């Protein structure tokens, strides 16, 4: 008795699944027909009916071919008799297809990165440089990425290379070396607008490396070395100028104070005698030197008064 109840419940459950599946398939066919603005034709309806009968007759084995699973990061684009099924891409999770007349393609929705190969670019100021970059993008609309372009990934890579050449060709070498962030933003905007009809969203573009010709590198290094040497000479000249001014100020102060000259004279003798044990003999008495200095100072003042 229990077995009969269980088998009856199982049969009812299977019938419900079949009815639900058939209804969804009918809705998909009708909506696809309306969305295309035409009819799938007599042959299309015949194939569709035969597929439904095949599913019903071979149930539940046919469910293995009808039920498909896509991951959280994937979407399934379904084509029925060559036409895109309305409602957009399916997933994530379970979805149903009709064997023999439905086909589907899985699309990865995760962010993808790729390196743009080094591009030989002639800048605005006629300098040849090799520039490479990295691009981050993802599929935003799975149906558009399948129906509007043959290979969205390959097309995006080729477009990134041409966009890199076009953008950098309008820049000077100094702008390329100093304004990488601005160049990356311009490239990202241009690529995003160009790939929008393909269902692709470009999230980020980064300029990785700018390689200059060897001769240009040597010329720039020589120019930088010359600039450093010129700067060093300017600093040394400024130091000598400041030292000369300080010596002039010190000489003026010592000229106004004869005692300062005598003190400086004694300090010099003290320094000389500190290095080695030596005896210093003054050729002239200190008092005579003071008298001479006073006489020299008085004569200088008299001469200035006459003038």
Mean pLDDT score, 71-88: 87
At residue 36, the pLDDT reads: 45
Mean pLDDT score, 131-147: 93
Give me the residue spans of the domains in the chain. Answer: 2-108, 112-216, 251-307
The whole-angstrom distance between residue 292's C-alpha and the CA centroid of its chain comes to: 80
Reported confidence tier of residue 1, pLDDT bands at 50, 70, 90: very low
Reported confidence tier of residue 285, pLDDT bands at 50, 70, 90: low
* Distance (Å, whole) CA 189 – CA 207: 14
Retrieve residue 112's tokens: 């993808």
At residue 112, the pLDDT reads: 94
Question: What number of H helices and E strands is found in the chain?
Answer: 10, 8
112-216 falls under which CATH superfamily?
Band 7 domain (3.30.479.30)
Reported confidence tier of residue 286, pLDDT bands at 50, 70, 90: low
- Position with higher pLDDT, 65 vs 169: 169
Mean pLDDT score, 17-37: 50
Question: Are 94 and 67 spatial neighbours (Cβ–Cβ below 8 Å)?
Answer: yes
| Tens-place pLDDT, residues 201-233 | 999 999 988 888 776 666 666 677 677 777 888
- Position with higher pLDDT, 239 vs 117: 117
User: Does 64 have pLDDT greater than 80?
Assistant: no
The sheet that has 112-122: what strands, in order across it?
112-122, 128-139, 200-211
Mean pLDDT score, 87-100: 82
Who contacts 133 (Cβ-Cβ below 8 Å, separation ≥6)?
A: 115, 116, 160, 164, 184, 187, 205, 206, 207, 208
Retrieve residue 114's tokens: 């790729």
| Tens-place pLDDT, residues 144-179 | 999 999 999 999 999 999 999 999 988 888 888 888
| Tens-place pLDDT, residues 171-195 | 888 888 888 889 999 999 999 999 9
Mean pLDDT score, 236-254: 78
CA 281 to each of CA 185, 260, 275, 284, 293: distance values in angstroms, whole numbers, following the listed order: 83, 21, 16, 9, 20
User: Does 281 have pLDDT greater than 90?
Assistant: no
pTM of the prediction? 0.59
User: Does 111 have pLDDT greater than 50?
Assistant: yes
- Weakest mean pLDDT among 107-111, 134-138, 289-293: 289-293
């Amino acid at each position: 008795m229990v077995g009969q109840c269980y088998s009856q419940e199982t049969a009812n459950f299977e019938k419900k699944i079949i009815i639900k599946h058939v209804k969804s398939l009918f809705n998909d066919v009708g909506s696809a027909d309306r969305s295309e603005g035409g009819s799938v034709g007599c042959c299309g309806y015949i194939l569709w009916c035969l597929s439904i009968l095949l599913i019903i007759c071979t149930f539940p084995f046919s469910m293995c071919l009808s039920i498909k699973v896509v991951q959280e990061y994937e979407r399934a684009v379904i084509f029925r008799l060559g036409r895109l099924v309305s409602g957009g891409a399916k997933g994530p999770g379970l979805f149903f297809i009709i064997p023999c007349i439905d086909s589907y393609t899985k699309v990865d929705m995760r962010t993808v990165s790729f390196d743009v190969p080094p591009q030989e670019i002639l800048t605005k100021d006629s300098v040849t440089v090799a520039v490479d970059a990295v691009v981050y993008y993802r599929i935003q609309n799975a149906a558009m990425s399948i129906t509007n372009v043959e290979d969205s990934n390959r097309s995006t890579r080729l477009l990134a290379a041409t966009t890199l050449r076009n953008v950098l060709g309008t820049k000077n070498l100094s702008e390329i070396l100093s304004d990488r962030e601005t160049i990356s933003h311009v490239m990202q905007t241009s690529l995003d607008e160009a790939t929008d009809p393909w269902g692709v969203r470009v999230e980020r573009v980064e300029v990785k490396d700018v390689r200059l010709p060897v001769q240009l590198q040597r010329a720039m290094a020589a120019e930088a070395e010359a600039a450093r040497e010129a700067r060093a000479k300017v600093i040394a000249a400024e130091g000598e100028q400041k030292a000369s001014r300080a010596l002039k100020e010190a000489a003026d102060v010592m000229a106004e104070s004869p005692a300062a000259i005598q003190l400086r004279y004694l300090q010099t003798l003290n320094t000389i005698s500190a290095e080695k044990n030596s005896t210093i003999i003054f050729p002239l008495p200190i008092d005579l030197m003071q008298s001479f200095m006073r006489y020299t100072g008085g004569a200088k003042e008299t001469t200035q008064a006459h003038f």
